[in-house]
Amino acid sequence: MVNCKTSILIIDDEKISLKHLVRIFQKEGFDATGVSDGEKALELIDSKSFDLILTDLVMGKTGGLEILAKAKSHDPDTEVVIITGYGSVESAIEATKMGVFHYIQKPIRPDEVRHIAKQAIKKRELTMRVRELEQKPSQNLSSIVGNSSGIALIKRTIRQIENSDSNVLITGESGSGKELIAKAIHTTSKRKDKCFLAINCASFTEELLANELFGHEKDAYTGAMQTKAGLIETADGGTIFFDEVGDMPISMQAKLLRVIQEREVIRVGGTKSIPVNIRVICATNKDLKKMCKTGTFREDFYFRLNVIPIHMPSLSERKEDIPQLAAYFLRRYEKNSVKKINGFSDEVLRILINYEYPGNVRELENIIEHASSMAQSSQIELKDLPPDLTSLDSFTFNPDNQNLKTLEEMESEYIQWVLEHVDYKKSKASEILGIDRASLYRKLKRLEK
């Protein structure tokens, strides 16, 4: 959101040039991060979104075009400016095709770089503003698709806490839509006009997470050329969403617990306490209660987070929502298609409803994106679905087939198919097959002979 401090990532293997650029943008009030290594830049881009990236074209192992590709795949709205002393027509054309905002040559002229950067940021803000207006209905929870009892309970809870600042813990399987719930909580709250920052705890090393969250003072460590505000400071007045909080190191849990309790943060290498006003929403696919018992998650931290618990059901637990979700995703991806697609054939709907979705809503979305790209008629047909999704239909009987299989062969293939589609979770497979786990183990042992 535009209320957040604009974040800029600068990548240049010439350290003097890098330091100069970082200083230019920090003086302008931007949250500027500088790195001299392309590989480290890729890690940073993987872990968070930047409003603008300025990158050198020619660097050691990872160059500017690789940075550009990664940035656009992670967040298509991130604007990228390539700065280089080795310009060529070919690289400029390639960068333009990949969506670069601007391509300028060294030596760096501060006024030019500032002007281009501000134009790029303005473009990003306009793009996001348009999207925000298009998605305005999300504030009345219409972005949470479905009418199943589990989803109805979540919507009711979000409405009940819209005037609250209490911390929220969202549990549920990977891909079930926990971040969507976190965003809905934020956009219906009194903090909706402030920052919403999402951080994936599993994407950071402990050292990098501390630096990102708390910021650092100048010279706090080698390479800390300037004072940098952390994400907690940046989100002041808003909401921070910690995804995969079960992967947060124990020592970091203690530090964040202090921030929540004391409502203040101390930068790395600093001594001054900085007051902060944030709401914390966390999500996990792990059993934190069990982790507390084994000592891998702090119990006091758990109780601070779990003030308002929300459980996001898996897609297999709310199959009645699948037709509505499928239609929602079809409308989204139809916008990118020249074809007008009105819906799904009955056969396709049957398959979509019966499938188990080990990847949850994220997997359903991928299936619909694939099908909408492949569709040749006004509705999604069986042939438009990914091949592995339709393999269940290969078990239908055809009396004219000269290569009929034995019952044992058919059983073996079907059991293998089910296991593959539930990531070899035997309890889930036995439930789908309608047998107990002991029977499944016996069949697997017999089939191995």
Q: How far apart are CA 200 and CA 248, in angstroms?
A: 9
Q: How far is CA 370 from CA 321, 329, 424, in A?
A: 20, 11, 24
Q: Does some domain include residue 73?
A: yes
Both 164 and 259 in one domain: the answer is yes
Both 203 and 298 in one domain: the answer is yes
Q: Does some domain include residue 50?
A: yes
Quick one: pLDDT at residue 405? 57
Highest mean pLDDT among 122-136, 201-215, 256-270, 400-414: 256-270
| pLDDT of 223 higher than 50 | yes
Q: Does some domain include residue 140?
A: no
Q: How far apart are CA 429 and CA 419, in angstroms?
A: 6
| pLDDT of 440 higher than 90 | no
Indicate the length of the chain as a whole number: 449
Query: H/E/C letters for each residue in the chain?
Result: CCCCCCEEEEECCCHHHHHHHHHHHHHCCCEEEEECCHHHHHHHHHHCCCCEEEEECCCCCCCHHHHHHHHHHHCCCCEEEEEECCCCHHHHHHHHHCCCCEEEECCCCHHHHHHHHHHHHHHHHHHHHHHHHHCHHHHHCCCCCCCCHHHHHHHHHHHHCCCCCCCEEEECCCCCCHHHHHHHHHHCCCCCCCCEEEEEHHHCCHHHHHHHHHEECCCCCCCCCCCEECHHHHCCCCEEEEECHHHCCHHHHHHHHHHHHHCEECCECCCCCEECCCEEEEEECCCHHHHHHHCCCCHHHHHHHCCEEEECCCHHHCHHHHHHHHHHHHHHHHCCCCCCCCEECHHHHHHHHHCCCCCHHHHHHHHHHHHHHHCCCCEECHHHCCHHHCHHHHHCCCCCCCCCCCHHHHHHHHHHHHHHHCCCCHHHHHHHHCCCHHHHHHHHHHHHC
Q: How far apart are CA 167 and CA 169, in angstroms?
A: 7
Quick one: pLDDT at residue 137? 43
Both 348 and 430 in one domain: the answer is no
Quick one: pLDDT at residue 147? 87
What contacts 439, CB < 8 A, 6 or more positions away? 430
Read off the pLDDT of each residue in 286-311 and give the average, rounded to a whole number: 97
Q: Which of the listed residues 313, 329, 360 is the one where a domain comes to its end?
A: 313
Q: Does some domain include residue 213?
A: yes
Quick one: pLDDT at residue 439? 79
More confident residue, 128 or 31: 31
Read off the pLDDT of each residue in 424-448 and give the average, rounded to a whole number: 77
Both 268 and 372 in one domain: the answer is no
CA atoms within 13 A on the CB side of 422: 21
Q: How far apart are CA 320 and CA 446, in angstroms?
A: 37
Q: How far apart are CA 304 and CA 45, in angstroms?
A: 30
Number of domains in the chain: 4
Quick one: pLDDT at residue 388? 78
Quick one: pLDDT at residue 314? 95
Q: How far apart are CA 290 and CA 423, in angstroms?
A: 23
Q: Does some domain include residue 91?
A: yes
Both 164 and 293 in one domain: the answer is yes
Read off the pLDDT of each residue in 251-276 and give the average, rounded to a whole number: 92
CATH value at residue 296: 3.40.50.300
Both 301 and 158 in one domain: the answer is yes
Q: How far apart are CA 33 and CA 55, in angstroms?
A: 12
More confident residue, 297 or 411: 297
Both 187 and 240 in one domain: the answer is yes
Q: Does some domain include residue 145?
A: no
Q: Does some domain include residue 370?
A: yes
CATH value at residue 129: 3.40.50.2300
Both 184 and 298 in one domain: the answer is yes
CATH value at residue 440: 1.10.10.60
Highest mean pLDDT among 17-21, 104-108, 184-188, 412-416: 184-188
Q: Between β-strands 279-284 and 168-171, what pairing exists: parallel, antiparallel or unpaired?
A: parallel
CATH value at residue 344: 1.10.8.60
Torsion sign across C-alpha atoms 132, 135, 136, 142: negative
| pLDDT of 301 higher than 90 | yes
Both 340 and 214 in one domain: the answer is no
Q: Which of the listed residues 394, 414, 430 is the one where a domain comes to its end?
A: 394
Q: Which of the listed residues 84, 101, 134 is the one where a domain comes to its end?
A: 134
Read off the pLDDT of each residue in 135-159 and give the average, rounded to a whole number: 81
Residue 337: domain span: 316-394
| pLDDT of 85 higher than 50 | yes
Both 30 and 119 in one domain: the answer is yes
Both 329 and 306 in one domain: the answer is no
Cβ–Cβ contacts within 10 Å for residue 123, how many?
A: 14
User: Roughly what angle, to the nearest 10 degrees, separates helices 426-433 and 407-421?
Assistant: 130
Quick one: pLDDT at residue 396? 42
315: pLDDT confidence band, cut at 50, 70 and 90?
very high
More confident residue, 88 or 357: 357
Q: How far is CA 88 from CA 13, 94, 103, 128, in A?
A: 19, 10, 10, 32
Highest mean pLDDT among 104-108, 299-303, 438-442: 299-303
Backbone angles phi, psi at 311, to 5 degrees: -105, 125
Quick one: pLDDT at residue 1? 36
User: Roughly what angle, to the nearest 10 degrees, separates helices 360-374 and 322-334?
Assistant: 50
Q: What is the largest CA-CA distance in the chain?
A: 81
Q: What is the mean pLDDT of the chain?
A: 85
Q: What does R_g of the chain's alpha carbons equal in angstroms?
A: 25
pLDDT digits 0-9 by tens, 232-254: 998 999 999 999 999 999 999 99
Q: Does some domain include residue 188?
A: yes
Look up tokens 């400016």; give the residue.
81
Both 245 and 100 in one domain: the answer is no
Look up tokens 């099908």; give the residue.
371
Quick one: pLDDT at residue 399? 47
